[in-house]
Amino acid sequence: MSMVSTRGVLLRAHPYSESSRVLRFLTEDHGVVGVMARGIRKSPQGRGLDLFGEVALVLYMKPGRELQTLAEVSPLRPRRGLGSHPLRLACAGVLAELVLRHHGEAPSHELFQVLGEGLDRLESVPEDEVVGTLLAQGWGLVSTLGFHPQVEACVVCGRSLSTDEVGRFDFDAGGIRCSGCAEGLAGPRIGPGARGQLRGLLRGEIPPDLMRSRAHLQLLSDFGMHHVSGSRPLEAFRIVAAFLPEPTTVSDA
């Protein structure tokens, strides 16, 4: 058993007994770590523990153990602004779920940084940019996890899609099929407008005319389910979708 210090973002917290909690952090140096925090619910340290906040952690770590032991925790960036609107909190929950459902255990400083940036942006952007920010940061996160979708050229034949071409999204192949290769495929239709917006989101930009955000959310959710969570549905997306207008497809966006 060794004592380690690292930064962490609290992704999930469950009560364990009257006084304890089981916490899941994305840590900067050790990936996702489950922690048993005994006595935390009644201790002053527990008051500095905000969901999605960044903290300095001291842990007793033993390799292979399911839950590590919390020695100390102190707040660095509480991100309490996320609680100002339930939509901000729901969007933060999507980023957290993508990280939790990913099975890669390898620690990644880049992932820690991308998640932190996403949560900071969700806390601070104007309310009408929250969903666009989630889409941009969500695609950034799945790309950082190793699943960057291919949207420039057809995933089957490699041909660049023409400016007015309508293709279809092939989730298994991880990108868009051209009109010729899309025949018989059931994936969502992606027109030139939606493709342009997707390219912008993948660059981290929120398209000024982002239309049909619920369809974009569905696309990110389905992509995440196929590639990140091992085909288990991602619950947090449904919570965000409940805030958005009725579903359509992104095809003619």
C-alpha of 132 from chain center? 13
Examine residue 181 and tell whether it contacts Zn ion (CB under 5 A): yes
The single residue among 35, 70, 82, 178 that binds Zn ion, judged by CB under 5 A, is 178
CB of 252 to Zn ion, least distance (A): 21
The single residue among 1, 3, 157, 242 that binds Zn ion, judged by CB under 5 A, is 157
Q: Which is nearer to Zn ion, 184 or 208 (CB)?
A: 184
Q: Which of residues 111-140 bind Zn ion (CB under 5 A)?
A: none
CB of 229 to Zn ion, least distance (A): 28
Answer whether 31's CB lies under 8 Å from 107's CB.
yes
CB of 167 to Zn ion, least distance (A): 8
- Candidates 122, 169, 168, 167; CA nearest to 141 is 122
Q: Which is nearer to Zn ion, 69 or 150 (CB)?
A: 150
Instruction: Return d(Cα 144, Cα 89) in angstroms, integer.
Output: 22
Q: DSSP string covering 122-153, please?
A: HHHS-GGGHHHHHHHHHHHHHHHTT---B-SB
**Burial of 126: CB neighbours in 10 Å, binned 0-12, 13-18, 19+:** exposed
Q: Which is nearer to Zn ion, 161 or 210 (CB)?
A: 161
Q: Which is nearer to Zn ion, 145 or 161 (CB)?
A: 161
| Positions that interact with Zn ion (CB under 5 A) | 154, 156-157, 178, 181
